[in-house]
Amino acid sequence: MVLKGASWRPALFPALFGILRHPRHGVTLFDTGYSARFQRATEPFPQRLYRWLTPVRVALGDSAAEQLLRAGIAPESVARIVLSHFHADHIAGARDFPNARFVASRAAWDAVRGRGTIRSTALGFLPRLLPDDFEARATLLEAYEFRTPGIGQFETSHDLFGDGSVRLIPLPRHARGQLGWLAQTAGRRRFLISRHTVTSHIKNAYRKLDVHTAAAAVFRAMNQGLLGKRAIRP
């Protein structure tokens, strides 16, 4: 979590990841959540400031890889990981998936790559959370590759598999180059964006939907077909 202008009040932000099994393209993850590596990467200064600002609790068995193993999915079998952006709470599990290709936007990568330690930490990016061969394993989407329709106020998307099943949607404002994911599975639509992105978009969403409460926003969004019932669960 990295919130601009956030007040000094404790808040709980679960770091989530998503999983999709595609009949032809295998297992794809959306982000990787936290892992014990976050603790190790934030031992030294100045990275330790990150942990101090956003204390993280990672219990044994909480990492994406461990959760997948419990569901019978070997981390080695994960074919692809879409990284919504490069804040540490989204990439901390990246090293646990040795065979995965990474997909992210070129804009998001360019916003964090090659900076010094202090600058990286200030950007919420801890480079050692990524595998050493990250760039060789990454497909970085250029702006012109977002040419299929988006959803609602988000006008464009990138069709990940070329079959309309998963569309990656640029979500400006929270982090440069950030992506959301719209999945179309048997008769169901799921829109995955990170929790804190919702926070930074919430005022805008209320305005667009012309409502003032979360309940009214959900009701109106469902009426407009923008949300499935499951999408509103935290």
Binding segment toward Zn ion, per CB under 5 A, in 2-10, 60-68, 164-172, 212-220: 2-10
Q: CA 154 from chain center: how many Å?
A: 16
Piece of 13-21, 30-38, 83-91, 142-150 that binds Zn ion (CB under 5 A): 83-91
Stretch that binds Zn ion, among 67-75, 79-87, 127-135, 202-210 (CB under 5 A): 79-87
Least separation in angstroms between CB 130 and Zn ion? 15
Residue nearest to Zn ion (CB): 87
**Residue 148 parent element (H or E):** strand 148-151
Q: Which is nearer to Zn ion, 2 or 64 (CB)?
A: 2
- Nearest-angstrom CA–CA distance, 102 and 78: 11
Count of Cβ atoms closer than 10 Å to residue 92 Cβ: 29
- C-beta of 27 vs 102, nearer to Zn ion: 102
Measured CA to CA, the distance from residue 23 to residue 206 in angstroms comes to 37
Q: Of 18, 34, 47, 87, which one interacts with Zn ion (CB under 5 A)?
A: 87
Nearer to Zn ion by Cβ, of 58 and 69: the residue is 58
Give yes or no for a cis peptide into 172 (omega within 30° of 0): no
Q: Taking the complex as a whole, how short is the minimal distance between the CB of residue 180 and Zn ion, in angstroms? A: 12
Closest CB 89 distance from Zn ion, rounded Å: 6
CA-to-CA separations, 22 to 7, 30, 80, 101, 154, in angstroms, rounded: 41, 13, 11, 15, 24
- Cα–Cα distance, 217 to 206 (Å, whole number): 6
Q: CB of 200: closest distance to Zn ion in angstroms?
A: 9
Instruction: State both tokens at 69.
Output: 């193993």
Task: Say whether residue 201 binds Zn ion (CB under 5 A).
Answer: no
CB of 174 to Zn ion, least distance (A): 6
Measured between alpha carbons, how far is 32 from 84 in angstroms, rounded to an integer?
10
Site residue total, Zn ion (CB under 5 A): 2
Query: Which chain residues interact with Zn ion by CB under 5 A?
Result: 2, 87
